[in-house]
Amino acid sequence: MRFLFKTDYEDDIRLFPHSGYYVSYGLLLAVLLIAPYVLSSYLMSQLVFVCIYATVGVALLILTGFTGQASLGHAAFLAIGAYTAAYLQKYGVPFPVYFLAAGLLTGLIGALVGFPALRLQGIYLVIATISFAFIVEEILARWESVTNGNEGMRIKAVSLFGVAVSRDGPTFYFLCLAVLVLTIVGTLNLLRSPTGRAFVAIRDSETAARSMGVNVALYKVKSFAISAAITGFAGVLFAHKLSFISPEMFTLQLSIEFIIVILIGGTFSLHGAVLGAIFIVMIDPFLTYLKDDMPGIIAGIAATFGAGTQAAANVQSKVAAFASLNGLKGAIYGIIIVLFVLFEPLGLYGRWLKIKLFFQLFPLYKRATFKRQKIYVKSERNR
């Protein structure tokens, strides 16, 4: 185990506390840079989605994880970013301009959503953000002169310095990776400066934050705006990756997927957003695999245990029918959320920290280290 001897205030400020971090993050970066030349095109495509989902995850972490304001409306922010890009591209606006414009517009709308949110807490805020998402979805479907309604919009490939960048090529992947890395670095910077600390203060006790001079309303709106703006940037990349967008892509289910990203990854650290994004992007092909192959496998097992050909075929068709039920995916997502909240509230990153500590302290690791302790109960809280 490594002990850090801090000799300078700089030690509390720097992003990488010791040299080991440079090695591990350097290696990670090297792997990510080589990836497009090694991995199959399918996996590369998945990796691009991981980058986009992780960017949204970081945005959601700023709002939900660090400021404590829940949101089920991030699909709408993503949609606003995507549609702004598609609309502006139609009029020949260059990529860097509409990329920034999409982020700014989404941030502005995020701030507007933040204002009513000032008076709402917990579940009521969730309801308000859901209704915002439905409103946006409806507008996208009806405002046909701009959004082309339910027929959706095509979006051409990114053109950087006059060169078209294929959505399947390595350059587009590097673009998404750069956006993710810049988002993470910016967020880390924010978290080590007064604004980030004000966010955390609001999450843990609004009264105390106020009495320390934090303008709670202003910082909540700021948090909404920043989170929405980042999601807007991700929306542009999302639109380019899909090359076609329509209102039914930005439903409540997508917002829930973003919540899953941070819940499963872990809500207390930016690592969680990336791990959660990997999880959510990789679970989809896994579910498809189960859906396609499970009936055959189960029928095979049934046959080996002496069921007749007729019975095995019967089982196979029943399982196949069950696997193609509508809403099964949503149900599986629901079960995953429940299980994580119950048994792994710190998420995948929390599990990683536990495993790391287990080996660092071996054989002295205590399970109670990560147990939440409530030493006393708060009475008469001021709101």
Partner 1 sequence: MSYFRAESLSLHFGGLKAVDAVSFAVEKGEILSIIGPNGAGKSSIFNLISRIYRPTSGRIFFEDQDITEQPPHDIARLGIARTFQNIELFENATVLSNLLVGRHRHSTTQLWQELLFLPGVRADEKVHRRRVEQVIEFLDLEPYRDKLISGLPYGVRKVIELARALCSEPKLILLDEPSSGLNVEETDDMSFWIRDLKSELGVTVLMVEHDMSLVNRVSDRVIALNYGRVLAMGSPAEVQEHPDVVAAYLGA
Query: CA-CA distance, 258 to 192, in Å (whole number)?
Result: 25
Query: Does 209 sit near partner 1 (CB under 8 A)?
Result: yes
**Under rule CB under 8 A, residue 200 binds partner 1:** yes
Q: How far apart are CA 218 and CA 201, in angstroms?
A: 13
- Exposed/middle/buried for residue 37 (C-beta within 10 Å: 0-12, 13-18, 19+): exposed
**Shorter beta-carbon distance to partner 1: residue 3 or 359:** 3
- Reference 238, options 346, 88, 70, 83; nearest CA is 83
Are the C-beta atoms of 289 and 42 separated by less than 8 Å? no
Instruction: Please report whether residue 367 would count as binding partner 1 according to CB under 8 A.
Output: no
How many residues sit close enough to partner 1 to count as binding (CB under 8 A)?
41
Kindly indicate which of the ranges 91-99, 274-282, 352-360, 371-379 contains the residues binding partner 1, using the contact rule CB under 8 A. Answer: 371-379
Helices (H), 243-346: 252-265, 270-304, 309-323, 328-343
354 part of the interface to partner 1, by CB under 8 A: no
Among 1, 2, 5, 9, binds partner 1 (CB under 8 A): 9
The stretch near partner 1 (CB under 8 A) out of 40-48, 294-302, 340-348, 374-382 is 374-382
Q: Where are the alpha helices (DSSP H) in the chain?
A: 10-13, 19-38, 41-60, 74-90, 95-117, 122-142, 144-147, 170-191, 194-204, 206-211, 216-242, 252-265, 270-304, 309-323, 328-343, 347-361
Considering only 108-116, 132-140, 206-214, 349-357, which stretch makes contact with partner 1 by CB under 8 A?
Answer: 206-214
> Rounded to the nearest 5°, which phi and psi values hold at 246?
-145, 160
Q: Tell which residue, 170, 167, 185, has the closest CA to residue 85.
A: 167
Name residue, tokens 């989902």: 53
Say whether residue 114 binds partner 1 (CB under 8 A).
no
If binding is defined by CB under 8 A, does position 2 make contact with partner 1?
A: no
**Look-up: residue for tokens 């896994």?**
286
Binding residue (CB under 8 A) for partner 1 from 131, 166, 215, 360: 215
User: What Å distances lie between residue 252 and 81, 82, 295, CA to CA?
Assistant: 17, 16, 30
Stretch that binds partner 1, among 99-107, 122-130, 140-148, 368-376 (CB under 8 A): 368-376
Of 56-64, 170-178, 207-215, 294-302, which part binds partner 1 (CB under 8 A)? 207-215
Which of these ranges, 43-51, 138-146, 198-206, 251-259, lies near partner 1 under the rule CB under 8 A? 198-206
Dihedral of alpha carbons 168, 170, 171, 175, sign: positive
Q: Which is nearer to partner 1, 96 or 330 (CB)?
A: 96
Of 90, 154, 197, 291, the residue at the interface with partner 1 (CB under 8 A) is: 197
Phi, psi of 334 (to 5 degrees): -60, -45
As measured in angstroms, the least distance from the Cβ of 203 to partner 1 is 8
Does position 380 interact with partner 1 (CB under 8 A)? The reply is yes
Other Cβ atoms within 10 Å of 215 Cβ, number: 13
Q: By CB under 8 A, tell whether 345 contacts partner 1.
A: no
Binding of residue 63 to partner 1 (CB under 8 A): no
CB atoms within 10 A of CB 184: 18
Q: Hey, is 148 helix, strand or coil? A: coil
Interface with partner 1 includes 288 (CB under 8 A)?
no
Is residue 174 involved in binding partner 1 (CB under 8 A)?
A: no
Residue in 24, 131, 166, 207 binding partner 1, rule: CB under 8 A = 207
Q: Which of residues 232-271 bind partner 1 (CB under 8 A)?
A: 268
- Given the rule CB under 8 A, which residues bind partner 1? 9-10, 12-13, 186, 189-190, 192-198, 200-201, 203-205, 207-216, 222, 226, 268, 372-373, 375-376, 378-382
